[in-house]
Amino acid sequence: MRRIRRITLQDFRSYRQLDLVLDGRSVALSGANGSGKTNLLEALSMVSPGRGLRRAALGDMQRQGTQGGWGVGVQLMGEADFEPTPLSVMATPPAPFRKVARVDGSSAPSAGVFLDYLNFSWLTPAQDRLFVEGASERRRFLDRMTLSRDKAHAQSSTQYEKAMRQRTAALLSGRSDPQVLTILERQMAENGVAIAASRRVMAGELVRGYAALRSGAFPSASLSLSGRLEEALGTQDAATVEDDFAEALARSRRRDAEAGRALIGPHRSDFEVIHLEKAQPARLCSTGEQKALLIGLVLAHAAALDEAADAPLFLLLDEVAAHLDSDRRAALADILTELGCQAFMTGTDSELFAPWGARAQHFNVAADGITEQL
């Protein structure tokens, strides 16, 4: 099983320099608020496409008082036939900062190359209101899960958004060429259907993931996708859905020009989670139930990827145990052990991680550094 065996940081957030050697077990980080626990999780999340678990600007991650940019590195070790591989990412000035990915010391075209080696899934306190806030956060959450099993999902999303921006700009200019609009709408249709199809596959795999968990500690749930393309793909082939979407975009040009944005497409889709035992939407559940549902969703994702993903999944769980009772903390430790994925967890009290015992490597995080608790 592939594991992160070393983490290095340079001028990242609160860390001037860090060289943390690991033994392959899950990692429990305890310490006071503001000590740098979440900063370490954020650093790991940057070794992936996108802006990481805080979605911060690259320049904001630079340690205060420095000007040379920042760097994050991880050393992977694994199966006998897997060569130890250093992965690194850095952001360099001048503004706007640019994210540069490296594999084994060589520059890569984009951070998408990291998906050949590892995937990250994360859960933070900021996501606790995922089920009750706007659809955009839920789409982002689902798309990150989808990306972990379909590397092409990122490219489809990028190309869709680029074509959508160009189409909107053309419509707003008042001088749009119908032939150019048709080309852009076809690009939106092709990539939009690919996005929707990948989301549908991920939703189906989550059902399999829940079944594989075989644990009653976290509630099982169903996931219902709502969106023009996602729903159409349930009854029609992809080519037909593409044609229909392209035609719908053409008919919507005037409305979209007046609105200043595209009013239909996968960028408007949503998903709803249903608490199966209660037959109740997650948005109507209690705060505690929503937290348990969210953890269950992340665990189901990990279980679904156990065999389907090209690269192993690593979990970044920020303050995950803080609001769980002792039974659920013990169950979480057992489930993560059974799943076999390396988890990086934070909490203010080391006692929160007592159920892990020797199954995790325990560290204390303080302003003056990170020390292992033996």
**pLDDT reported for residue 80:** 64
The rounded distance, in Å, linking the Cα atoms of 105 and 86 is 7
The reply to whether 143 and 9 lie within a common domain is no
The reply to whether 316 and 297 lie within a common domain is no
Is it the case that residue 14 has pLDDT exceeding 70?
yes
| 37 inside domain | yes
Single out the residue in 284, 308, 332 at which a domain terminates. 308
Instruction: Report whether 345 contacts 353 (CB < 8 A).
Output: yes
How do residues 88-97 score in pLDDT, each as one tens digit?
999 988 878 8
The reply to whether 234 and 371 lie within a common domain is no
| 335 inside domain | yes
The rounded distance, in Å, linking the Cα atoms of 97 and 60 is 10
| 279 inside domain | yes
The CATH number of the domain holding residue 296 is 1.20.1050.90
| 4 inside domain | yes
How do residues 158-189 score in pLDDT, each as one tens digit?
999 999 999 999 999 988 899 999 999 999 99
The rounded distance, in Å, linking the Cα atoms of 152 and 192 is 12
Single out the residue in 276, 291, 308 at which a domain terminates. 308
Instruction: Report whether 266 contacts 190 (CB < 8 A).
Output: no
Q: Is 77 left (phi over 0), alpha (psi -120 to 50) or beta?
A: beta
**pLDDT reported for residue 163:** 99
**pLDDT reported for residue 198:** 97
The reply to whether 236 and 181 lie within a common domain is yes
The reply to whether 140 and 203 lie within a common domain is yes
The reply to whether 169 and 273 lie within a common domain is yes
The reply to whether 145 and 232 lie within a common domain is yes
Q: What is the DSSP letter of 62?
A: B
**pLDDT reported for residue 182:** 98
The reply to whether 265 and 159 lie within a common domain is yes
The rounded distance, in Å, linking the Cα atoms of 30 and 352 is 9
The reply to whether 342 and 242 lie within a common domain is no
How do residues 305-348 score in pLDDT, each as one tens digit?
876 667 889 999 999 998 899 999 999 999 999 999 999 999 99
| 124 inside domain | no
* Residue 203 confidence class, pLDDT cut points 50, 70, 90: very high
* Residue 84 confidence class, pLDDT cut points 50, 70, 90: confident
**pLDDT reported for residue 178:** 95
| 123 inside domain | no
Is it the case that residue 44 has pLDDT exceeding 90?
yes
Instruction: Report whether 87 contacts 103 (CB < 8 A).
Output: yes
The rounded distance, in Å, linking the Cα atoms of 247 and 270 is 22
| 151 inside domain | yes
Residues spanned by the domain of 42: 1-118+311-374
Work out the mean pLDDT of the chain and round it to a whole number: 93
The count of domains in the chain is 2
The reply to whether 179 and 246 lie within a common domain is yes
The reply to whether 321 and 285 lie within a common domain is no
Single out the residue in 292, 308, 324 at which a domain terminates. 308
| 129 inside domain | no
How do residues 109-156 score in pLDDT, each as one tens digit?
999 999 999 999 999 999 999 999 999 999 999 999 999 889 899 999
The reply to whether 90 and 112 lie within a common domain is yes
The rounded distance, in Å, linking the Cα atoms of 356 and 361 is 9
**pLDDT reported for residue 79:** 66
The CATH number of the domain holding residue 324 is 3.40.50.300
